[in-house]
Structure 1
Amino acid sequence: MSYFISKDTFLISDSHFGHQAALLKEPIRGKSALAHGFKDFDTFSITMWNRTLRPKDRIWHLGDLYFGSGYKALKKLNGTKLLIVGNNDIGKYDYVRGLKHWSVCRKLRLQIPESRLIKDYLKQKFGKESLKNIYLNAVVCDIEGERIMFSHFPVFNRKPRDRFAHARDILDETFKLAQCSLNIHGHLHSKESGNDFCINVSCEKLGFIPRTLGEVLHSHKKKRSFYD
């Protein structure tokens, strides 16, 4: 299966619908909701999504979609939606895949000419079963003059003794082998990776409003030129 993306495809990550702990870890969630006149964060998040996307728009969600009763939000969201599985989506994505207008990426998808060579090398280096790692989920493709890895985890950024280290080692190696120019990711919420080739599209970084790939790339180029 291949996944289509254009500059008009929307992006967002780490919605964490129904996740109370996320409200404690990221106070900006509740503050932003209240600032817009909402007492409930999920209602605020759904409203911002649907004010931005029309029903036929396309959006890629880069992982950590919902917790518990947060599944109720998924049927309310506009657009044709792709979930790239994050660490908190394990055990839940079958439900997502069964919903209308949702699809799920739960593998390493290299939509580039070098795909077979890269995967053969990864199997040699990390083992034959390495590409079956449940946390190894990403799409690599050429778009808008860039070779981009879309993933939940950022590359070359992790805590000591990270429990997802094996999958992330493979992601890092893939980024290098594919000669990617950018990594668009989530996972970090309001934090940054510290790498100028990484773009964090966690909802906290986007003001809880999905942004198109074109907007994300334009903003990143402006930021780069400001610091150059």
Structure 2
Amino acid sequence: MTTFFTADTHFGDHRTINIWRRPFASVAEMNALLIERWNATVAPNDIVWHLGDVARRAADVPDLLAALNGTKHLIRGNNDPDGTLQSAGWASTADYAELVVDEHRLVLCHYPFRSWNGQHRGALNLHGHSHGRLAPMRRQFDVGVDVHDFAPVTLGDLLAKPDRRERGGSPPVRATSS
């Protein structure tokens, strides 16, 4: 069982294609690639922490969750209404979480923090919201799909990237249709 992190999928949201310059001709193409990459990365028994901004319409969330592999936890984003949190398929929902993965203390929130609990004792801040447009701070990682080739990412993947800009501040990777 592996733990993954992701954020800012914005399933069904045409605005995301334009605002964040995602390389998709349509929402259907974006949704299909997001689902494909999620399921190619995450096994059914894996754990996924989604750090917010799941979908345009809360009514779509139960079917999306059923189509995506893994046990899914939600940290609410600014575009997640109550209906998204109440959707069947979440193992848990919260605005904020602290957990330990692979002996690393993690502080999870949709929003990047300037400072966070345990920051000076090695705790890491994982976040979404900025779509790779925020210069990263030490021990802070943007886990949004725009930064990680439209797929969930492991903590090991985040820690292994040698170029600090790639760990949260790089421009989005452009998808290719398969």
TM-score by length of 2: 0.78
Q: By percentage of residues, which structure has more helix?
A: 1
Alignment of 1:133-212 (within 5 A): 137-156=95-114, 172=115, 174-175=116-117, 179=121, 181-212=123-154
Match of residue 76, structure 2, among 71, 85, 91: 85
Query: 2:52 is aligned with what amino acid?
Result: G
CA contact (8 A) 1:148 1:180 kept: no
Deviations 1:138-196 (A, max 9, x none): 1123443432211110002xxxxxxxxxxxxxxx4x52688453211101013124312
Query: 2:128 is aligned with what amino acid?
Result: G
SS of residue in 2 equivalent to 1:92? helix
**Identical aligned residues as a percent:** 29
Alignment of 1:65-104 (within 5 A): 65-68=54-57, 70-71=60-61, 72-96=63-87, 98-99=88-89, 102-104=90-92
* Structure-2 residue corresponding to 1:216: 158
Match of residue 28, structure 1, among 22, 28, 32: 22
Question: In structure 2, do the counterparts of structure 1 residues 141 and 56 end up closer, same or farther at CA, with 3 Å as the change threshold?
Answer: closer
Q: Specify every segment of 5 or more residues in structure 1 that has no aligned partner in the other structure, as ranges.
A: 1-5, 107-136, 157-171
Deviant stretches of 4+, over 6 Å: none
Alignment of 1:10-21 (within 5 A): 10-21=4-15
Deviations 1:58-100 (A, max 9, x none): 111111111126424222111111111112113223432x23x
TM-score by length of 1: 0.62
SS of residue in 2 equivalent to 1:30? coil
* Structure-2 residue corresponding to 1:62: 51
The count of corresponding residues between Structure 1 and Structure 2 is 162
CA contact (8 A) 1:50 1:78 kept: yes
* Structure-2 residue corresponding to 1:125: none
Match of residue 41, structure 1, among 23, 26, 30: 30
Deviations 1:23-45 (A, max 9, x none): 111123417x9xxxx96110111
Deviations 1:82-123 (A, max 9, x none): 111112113223432x23xx22332xxxxxxxxxxxxxxxxx
Q: Specify every segment of 5 or more residues in structure 2 that has no aligned partner in the other structure, as ranges.
A: 165-178
Query: 1:199 is aligned with what amino acid?
Result: F
SS of residue in 1 equivalent to 2:38? helix
